[in-house]
A and B are shown apart, each in its own frame.
Chain A
């Protein structure tokens, strides 16, 4: 609250002109070619942006391929197309990353973190990651308690070439990968359009790795080439969208997404044997509608959504008398509203006050032993104020969370209520140079699995808190047609009451036992340089340092050791040369050594990995259509490095796409 008062004080002190009206910051950001877009540089907390042009130049076709190049982000990847992919920001853990798709929070009350592979990058119009205190106040209230927010914006309806826009693409990839995709956008009347897209992805996923087996005569084979078994994927995705503008300047958007996915779960590569027996089927229907209207100093956004996802997990392992057949049905209904008020103070500054409210009902029905079929009702209210002047931007917000749960049997977790504050400040110290600072307290609520999973779960769990504080500077300068942007940030985070599974002699128990302290540095640079009149050179580079130590138990052997799967050093370089028609891109991701178990001893060390990607892209006009040919060579060095212990990544891969657009 102190900062809220402070920001009001700034209102009266300031004497600068306010140039801007409400804008959808993300839409603005997508116009910027590189991910350090201008919109990000004056935010009080780091905001990373990637537009479609940058995605296309880098050759990324899946969300995690983009996210792993961003500073402060750590992608956990179980390997292959079907392998679970999640993102942790600044060491907080994936459950502290909220994911927004098309402005709506994608939540999973059962598991907490979101598998990134469910989002289709081909139909994405841009990605933004807000670390800590969000600069964009028009995010759903449900995101306000998260450590960071990953926003994915679908590609806007395109009527630039006429009332009908059609795309068809075919992708061939290594290990039996095929992906046909179609999209049609159609204007139905003035200001209204519909869009339908669908894709099918199949892959054998039987990529090679090096391993040893036991021969028929009882000897160990020499290391040789083995193939991953049971990692096939077959996924159908489709989306229907309606978008229109009413006469009063309001925008209505409605959409429905359907996903049907079947995949094998190959499990870890266990030495000397391979016997995958697990499979996963996901059927996910997601619908939402939003109305957004701006008028003379006010903006209102209303959202409604319903998501229904079924998961079926089967395991035919011979250790079970009957095959395992677990079925989960999770339904989430949400209503949200955001009301913003903005006033030009005449003195050059603008004051904005935003009230955001989310109401979310989630229910899990499972056939697993002793599942109490929990229901959670959550109400989240966020009040934010932002002062923006030419030199100073101050944002403060306070979020109140209320949560109630019901169960059909046994006991439900007690009601929760919690206040979480955040504040940020950005100051233009010199032309192009911004200094920034933020502080935030967020938390994650225990998932249904944490609370109610048979014998493992515990209803006495309290939320896991994440406190973040960051300081940084951004610098941006235009030299003629060249453009340079640099960011440098340092931060300190504390995670307390970390929810961890504690083994006992008999079973795991979920407990609030962990405490992690993090100190880190994120650096990034983005350069755009014209080469002659035809060519443009882009480079984005980032480097992150993160010291994240476990301070849970001074008597444990891992006290003050770097936490699992968290590199101290990581970095990426993405560089390209492009013309209006073609581009050539190269991306390097480098991640330093990590530990796969809590103790930092040589036996637990996972070596550093380097992943090189080469991408070419060529646009060929064919009559009234455009044919785009693109090819990517992924993981050029061919090493089957491990991000997660015992889950080798695919080695060298090729991906070729032909796409026709009209």
Chain B
């Protein structure tokens, strides 16, 4: 990247300004799956076709890199693995650059490649969530998709520009519209789509450049990047019952995740020379709306913290310098103590599910 072309520069802004996206929690869960390990989705480097999934075994504390390729005769996952979602015995993997959602079994054996288009435009998936018996996906071209898990057919409806996060709460699907492709004119809305009619019915106005959405009961948590200038990054809570949007008091939040009734918030930020500061994970009572303090209890530092995931047993922090393989820190969700840390064997570990 020593000499960026116009094209690269412009695209670099787009690609990185929206590199993080997180799915919502599952609203009505399928049969619980007895988990013995985790899937780590490595986003990969932009344009490098090197997204991948590593598998991690809790009992042996061992990692198997590039498990998708191994399970599928060497088939590469593609460019920019953006989100991974477990639905029953299936995994949905949104591969943004490759404009495909791969559906696999729990052993990562490929069952279906789901593509979608609107008019002439092929659609690029971002985030996934499950609700009301359907899988929902945001498409960066400005659409929400609904996938029928029985037939893998997709229907789409227009939402705001460059939607990132998606969440399902009680018959409504919410998308956070970042407008991230045009820096300078970021969007600041969350679309509300009625799942039955599959039409946008209203919008919420939120902080600029909204990213991940995570639901907890009738509350919808949202983090936003701001405009990298005057508008700071924020975590906000949309109260669906009252229709109000309130700011949470956190400085430099970069990622959120919900597990149970707890919202986990990763805060980091940069020093004056743009050196990343170590990340801090906070806990927040998502049901009652109250701060619970920091999560990590054993003093583990999180250099170059990049992503956050919360699963049934662990909280996962992905750390990355964006050019080398990342590191994943797994903390016991009950105690906040480090369970294990390891090289993710891929660039930009973005999402972990059990």
Contacts and interface: CB of A to CB of B under 8 A. Distances in A.
B4 A456 contact: yes
Contacts of B346: 603
Contacts of B6: 111, 311, 313, 326, 328, 449
Contacts of A318: 118-121, 141-142
Contact of B325 (A84, A320, A505, A601): A601
A369 B183 contact: yes
B228 A455 contact: yes
A632 to B, nearest CB: 29
Which residue of B6, B161, B181, B184 has the most chain A CB atoms within 10 A of its CB atom?
Answer: B6
Interface residues of B, number: 69
Contacts of B225: 505-506
Interface string A605-626: 0000000000000000000000
Nearest to B184: A369
B351 to A, nearest CB: 16
A504 B274 contact: yes
Contacts of B184: 369-370, 454
Interface stretch (B106-114, B213-221, B243-251): B106-114
Contacts of B306: 505
Contacts of A508: 1, 4, 9, 12-13, 16
Contact of B182 (A220, A275, A321, A503): A321
B2 A498 contact: yes
Contacts of A101: none
Contacts, number: 183
Contacts of A599: 323-325
Interface in B128-180: 140-142, 152, 161-162, 179
Given A113-B3, A597-B347, A220 B113 contact: yes
A318 B99 CA distance: 13
A95 B89 CA distance: 52
A507 interface: yes
Q: Which secondary structure characterizes the binding site on chain B?
A: loop
B58 interface: no
A501 B12 contact: yes
Contacts of B75: 212, 220
Given A319-B14, A507-B12, A598 B274 contact: no
Interface in A471-529: 498-509, 511, 514
A271 B79 contact: yes
B164 to A, nearest CB: 12
A506 B323 contact: no
A28 interface: no
Interface in B183-230: 183-184, 225, 228
A509 B254 CA distance: 18
B97 interface: yes
Contact of B49 (A214, A270, A511, A598): A270
Q: Which secondary structure characterizes the binding site on chain A?
A: loop
A557 interface: yes
B113 A509 contact: no
B112 A218 contact: yes
Contacts of B323: 503, 558, 597-599
B33 to A, nearest CB: 24
Contacts of B276: 504-505
A311 B114 CA distance: 38
Given A557-B325, A597-B347, A598-B324, A507 B49 contact: no
A597 B20 contact: no
Contacts of A557: 321, 324-325
Given A270-B78, A505-B20, A84 B5 contact: yes
Contacts of A269: 49
A214 B183 CA distance: 32
B61 interface: no
Interface string A79-114: 000001010000001110000000000000001110
Contacts of B99: 270, 272-273, 275
A175 B3 CA distance: 30
B79 A504 contact: no
B349 interface: no
B324 A558 contact: yes
A265 B161 contact: no
B5 A111 contact: yes
B1 A219 contact: no
B183 to A, nearest CB: 7
Nearest to A503: B322
Which residue of A278, A447, A556, A603 has the most chain B CB atoms within 10 A of its CB atom?
Answer: A603
B100 A603 contact: no
A210 interface: no
Which residue of B48, B110, B112 has the most chain A CB atoms within 10 A of its CB atom?
Answer: B48
Contacts of B330: none
A507 B15 CA distance: 8
A95 B98 CA distance: 32
Nearest to A555: B303
B301 interface: no
Contacts of A507: 12-13, 16-17, 183, 228
A36 to B, nearest CB: 30
B3 A111 contact: yes
Interface string B34-73: 0000000000010111100000000000000010000000
A453 B7 contact: no
Contact of A272 (B113, B141, B324): B113
B2 A500 contact: yes
A599 B45 CA distance: 12
Contact of B274 (A84, A93, A509, A645): A509
A324 interface: yes
B160 to A, nearest CB: 10
Contacts of B82: none
A514 B112 CA distance: 43
A95 B273 CA distance: 24
Contacts of B119: 318
A623 B336 CA distance: 92
Contacts of A368: 10
A233 to B, nearest CB: 16
Contacts of A317: 181
Contacts of A637: none
A646 B80 CA distance: 13
A268 interface: yes
A556 B324 contact: yes
A306 interface: no
A112 to B, nearest CB: 5
B2 A506 contact: no
A596 interface: yes
B7 A455 contact: no
Contacts of A449: 4, 6, 9
B124 interface: yes
B2 to A, nearest CB: 5
A453 B98 contact: no
A401 to B, nearest CB: 20
Contacts of A278: 7
15 contacts: A93-B3, A214-B100, A214-B113, A270-B47, A273-B99, A318-B141, A321-B142, A321-B182, A447-B3, A455-B228, A508-B16, A514-B2, A558-B324, A603-B50, A645-B47
What 9 pairs across the A-B complex have the smallest Cβ distances?
Answer: A318-B121, A557-B324, A503-B322, A501-B1, A271-B78, A273-B99, A318-B141, A268-B47, A319-B181
Interface of A: 84, 86, 93-95, 111-113, 212, 214, 218-220, 265, 267-273, 275, 278, 311, 313, 315, 317-321, 324, 326, 328, 368-370, 447, 449, 453-456, 498-509, 511, 514, 556-558, 596-599, 601, 603-604, 645-646
Given A278-B7, A369-B184, 5 more contacts: A93-B3, A220-B113, A319-B142, A508-B16, A603-B345
Interface of B: 1-7, 9-10, 12-14, 16-17, 20, 45, 47-50, 66, 75-76, 78-79, 95, 97-100, 110, 112-115, 118-122, 124, 140-142, 152, 161-162, 179, 181-184, 225, 228, 254, 268, 270, 273-274, 276, 306, 321-325, 345-347
